């Protein structure tokens, strides 16, 4: 062996050692050690030299990439022996669907390995880190890595957020238009029902925020928020419905208490006053709304009606009796007006027993 990189380390009758520095692929081969005795004794060993892969490089990326375009990234390394292994990762998550190509170098001892990652650009990939990792036994478990940060341009994504899910008359509502895109979208445009905002004094736009104060039914409609950047434009809509205030003021459980006014107005004035006073004095002011109990107003109304009917019955009976008594007296006196004396008047009187064809009785 005649090479300046080969040195004799130890020489004795029992051992002969050499060292080889700056090992190259040409050092690979069979080495023989001979002991010149009679006969000569020899020992052989085969030296294998590993080819260390070069640092990988990623090609095929042009910045920026528009959303929806197809991207083909290629990772390549050469000089490996045996052929190196290439793996792809996106944000530390391995990508399996790749193409792997292995080619032999000109020296016919080492290999050039390449792998291609093919995918469609998506807005979710913006800012993602794509890495190519080369594994080889000569690297002592320390892989070589090449990285590429993706830059994806895409149209704005627009969303409207409302500050009030149940807007009512007189309130204020704030609509926020969130727009995300790359490049950053320009200031948004607010419209109502396809036209400009009708009341700039109450409908104030501050950047991406639309504030509407003192809501009323004329504010009902469809509000559109539109955002654009050099890639394109996008919009979204929000339907505003202003609700009446009184729909949510009182629960339905308080409605029965209002029926007392209808009952008492049908009764006489004195009875109505007594009933209302009684109902007011009996009602417990500390009673909770919705508690079940006797309806004192209804009971008072019924009592008043009974008293009214009784009075009417007494009056009608009195008038009936008085009318019959007058009729009797009138019949007794009829026909006695021209009589010269009392006896003749009684005889000539209509209804007297003398001229009567039948007997008649009168109740006095």
Q: What pLDDT, in 10s, does the model give residues 61-73? A: 988 899 999 999 9
pLDDT over threshold 80, residue 250 = no
Any idea which of 3-12, 146-155, 244-253 has the lowest mean pLDDT? 244-253
Return the pLDDT at 31: 92
Mean pLDDT of 196-207: 94
List pLDDT tens digits, range 122-133: 999 999 999 999
Mean pLDDT of 134-148: 92
Distance, in Å, from the CA atom of 278 to the CA atom of 280, rounded to the nearest integer, reads: 5
Burial of 11 (0-12, 13-18, 19+ CB in 10 A): exposed
Answer with the residue of higher pLDDT: 114 or 271: 114
- For 105, phi then psi, to 5°, come to -75, 175
pLDDT band at 36 (very low <50, low <70, confident <90, very high): confident
Return the pLDDT at 1: 80
Mean pLDDT of 226-254: 80
Distance of CA 149 to the CA centre of its chain: 34
Mean pLDDT of 93-103: 92
pLDDT band at 187 (very low <50, low <70, confident <90, very high): confident
Same fold across 57-150 and 155-240: yes
Return the pLDDT at 90: 94
pLDDT over threshold 80, residue 323 = no
The CATH class given to the 155-240 domain equals mainly beta
Return the pLDDT at 111: 95
Mean pLDDT of 183-199: 93
Distance, in Å, from the CA atom of 226 to the CA atom of 206, rounded to the nearest integer, reads: 14
- For 39, phi then psi, to 5°, come to -75, 170
Which of the 8 DSSP states describes residue 246?
G
pLDDT over threshold 70, residue 357 = no
Mean pLDDT of 175-203: 93
Return the pLDDT at 272: 33
Q: How many C-beta neighbours within 10 Å does residue 71 have?
A: 18
Three-state DSSP class for residue 279: helix
Mean pLDDT of 230-238: 94
pLDDT over threshold 50, residue 223 = yes
Burial of 24 (0-12, 13-18, 19+ CB in 10 A): exposed
Answer with the residue of higher pLDDT: 143 or 247: 143
pLDDT over threshold 90, residue 38 = no
Choices 1.10.1760.20, 3.40.50.720, 2.60.40.10, 4.10.320.10: CATH for 57-150: 2.60.40.10
List pLDDT tens digits, range 324-335: 655 544 455 555
pLDDT band at 177 (very low <50, low <70, confident <90, very high): very high
Domain segments of the chain as ranges = 6-47, 57-150, 155-240
């Amino acid at each position: 062996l005649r090479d300046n990189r080969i040195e004799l380390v130890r020489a004795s009758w029992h051992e002969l050692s050499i060292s080889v520095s700056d090992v190259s692929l040409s050092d690979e081969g069979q080495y023989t050690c001979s002991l010149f005795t009679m006969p000569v004794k020899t020992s052989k060993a085969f030296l294998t030299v590993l080819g260390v892969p070069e640092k990988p490089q990623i090609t095929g990326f042009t910045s920026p990439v528009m959303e929806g375009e197809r991207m083909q990234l290629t990772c390549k390394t050469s000089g490996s022996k045996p052929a190196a292994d290439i793996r792809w990762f996106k944000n530390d998550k391995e990508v399996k669907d790749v193409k792997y190509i292995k080619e032999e170098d000109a020296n016919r001892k080492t290999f050039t390995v390449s792998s291609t990652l093919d995918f469609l650009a998506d807005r979710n990939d913006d800012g993602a880190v794509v890495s190519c990792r080369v594994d080889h036994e000569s690297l002592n478990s320390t892989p070589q890595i090449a990285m590429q940060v993706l830059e994806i341009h895409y149209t704005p994504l627009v969303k409207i957020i409302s500050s009030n899910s149940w807007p009512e008359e007189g309130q204020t509502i704030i609509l926020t238009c969130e727009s995300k895109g790359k490049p950053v979208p320009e200031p948004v445009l607010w419209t109502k029902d396809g036209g400009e905002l009708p009341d700039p004094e109450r409908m104030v736009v501050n950047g991406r925020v639309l504030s509407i104060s003192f809501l009323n039914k004329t504010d009902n409609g469809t509000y559109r928020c539109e955002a654009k950047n050099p890639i394109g434009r996008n919009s979204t809509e929000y339907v505003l419905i202003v609700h009446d205030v009184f729909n949510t003021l009182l629960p339905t459980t308080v409605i029965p208490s209002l029926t007392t006014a209808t009952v008492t107005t049908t009764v006489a004035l004195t009875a109505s006053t007594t009933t209302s006073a009684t109902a007011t004095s009996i009602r417990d002011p500390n009673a909770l709304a919705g508690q079940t109990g006797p309806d004192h107003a209804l009971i008072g109304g019924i009592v008043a009606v009974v008293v009214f009917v009784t009075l009417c019955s007494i009056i009608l009976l009195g008038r009936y009796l008085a009318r019959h008594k007058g009729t009797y007296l009138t019949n007794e006196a009829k026909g006695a007006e021209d009589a010269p004396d009392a006896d003749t008047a009684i005889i000539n009187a209509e209804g007297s027993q003398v001229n009567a064809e039948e007997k008649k009785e009168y109740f006095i």
